[in-house]
Amino acid sequence: MERFASTILRTLGDRKIFVAGAGRSGLVAKAFAMRLMHLGFSVHVVGETITPRMDPGDLLIVISGSGETLYPVTIAKQAKELGGILAVITSYPESTLGKLADLSLVIKGRVLPAAHTDYESRQIMGIHEPLTPLGTLFEISTLIFCDALISELASRLGKTEEDLARRHATLE
């Protein structure tokens, strides 16, 4: 949390933050981007039509449970070539994204199918698979982490909920 907060705070001023993810992880990334915008950061979702260029020193935050999804990996490689700083939230720090990252945060969660599909053999072996499907645990845990990080950033910046509300959308 400390390294993520410090890295994000260093973007204040003339640096931009970009977020990326695919599928439901991408939705978590967009929710995080919205809250960063509410705090006053210059933040953009990769792939949107109004996303500006990345310059050296800008920050890319990629959310990917597996760390192997093609789109986020491709974006991360491109950001590194452009001189960007890469922060990754994943369940697998030894994944392609994890190895590319300047900063990585591990949030555990089942993102791959169970290795043993037979319930009784899993119980005997002490393997307790979650009941939630696919990457749900990772996505929900990441959303909670990102919201906690927003609270920490708001505190460090001296922002109140009213400050955030002033930047909230009014055309809804």
Task: State the catalytic residues.
Answer: 139
Whether the CB-CB separation of 134 and 111 falls below 8 Å is answered with yes
> What's the gap between Cα 103 and its chain centre?
12
Q: Is residue 108 classed exposed, middle or buried when 0-12, 13-18 and 19+ CB atoms within 10 A define those classes?
A: exposed
DSSP code of 88? E
Pairing of strands 103-106, 43-45: unpaired
